Amino acid sequence: MFTNFKMTRQFASLGCILCLTLMILSCSVDRGENAGQDKDTESLEAILEHWAGSFIDKVNKDYQAAVNFTCTEKDTEFHLLFSGKEYSLYEGLHPDAPYTLKATLAHYNRIYRGELTGFTSLGREDISDTTPLDVEFHQPMDAQLMNDFLFFVQRFFNPSTHDKVVLAEAHSRVVHGGNAIPLFYQQTDEVGVRSAWYQIHPGQRVNEPGDTNPFPQYFIITRGEGFARIGNDTLQVKANEAYYIAPGLDHVFWTDEDNPMEMIFLAWGKGA
């Protein structure tokens, strides 16, 4: 349910691969962006060195990649080259890197401090939405590039050996109407898998009538209680219940309770 990232015009139609509704996160709860500037600030060079040092422990000996990074307000540019278990960091942009990641130094530091993941920072509901971490692709989008990108984003920005993700409102952004944190996405030959954590407060609604997907989904309620509109049925839902959403079926979740409702979103199959 999370969506596309910024692409050049000729690739925009392929953005649906990205979730297309991926990531999701159009109204950001980046309340700490300015506050973060009052905290200790690391340079982008130091941050990239730290992330790259942990990332090489997660790749195999055949891994090859070139990735560009820019610091938007400081006009600072770097690129990383990975070759198996080794990496090199250089100033400037690599001409053959398939994409460039962009953020302010303050936001790179927010990710570095673990306030939210790089994957969460990239999520959007619509291709026109702005996000605190953006990406520009320089090559035609295909399944291989998308998988390479998803692998990199999910693992590079998370120095935890096993990619620990803290599921809490403070680490989320609002997408598709609820506080959301993407977990794992992969897409191969048009068959993919997606997963995310959602927290819904009174007044929020995850999805709207007419929002459908061409692949099967499950919503697992892990905390609280509320309501779900699935097709023509309105149901009361609560923790320790799971609901299957057939392809093409409307689905809306909300709560009127004082305490938020939390759930795990799973999707799989062709188009996911």
Range(s) of the domain holding residue 192: 170-270
Last residue of a domain, one of 156, 181, 216: 156
Percent pLDDT > 90 in the chain is: 75
pLDDT in tens, 182-216: 999 998 877 899 999 999 999 999 998 888 999 99
User: Two tokens at 239?
Assistant: 């923790």
What's the domain count of the chain? 2
Q: Is 195 in the same domain as 261?
A: yes
Residues 136, 178, single domain; the answer is no
Where among 133, 156, 179 does a domain terminate? 156
For residues 210 and 250, what is the distance between their CA atoms, to the nearest angstrom? 6
- Mark whether 17 and 147 lie in a shared domain: yes
Q: Do 123 and 25 belong to one domain?
A: yes
CATH number at residue 121: 3.30.1050.10
240 has a pLDDT exceeding 80: yes
Range from 30-34, 85-89, 175-179 that averages highest in pLDDT? 85-89
44 and 123 inside one domain? yes
Name the phi and psi angles at 216, rounded to 5. -70, 155
| CATH number, domain containing residue 252 | 2.60.120.10
Cβ-count burial of 174 within 10 angstroms (0-12 exposed, 13-18 middle, 19+ buried)? Answer: buried
- The answer as to whether 176 is a domain residue is yes
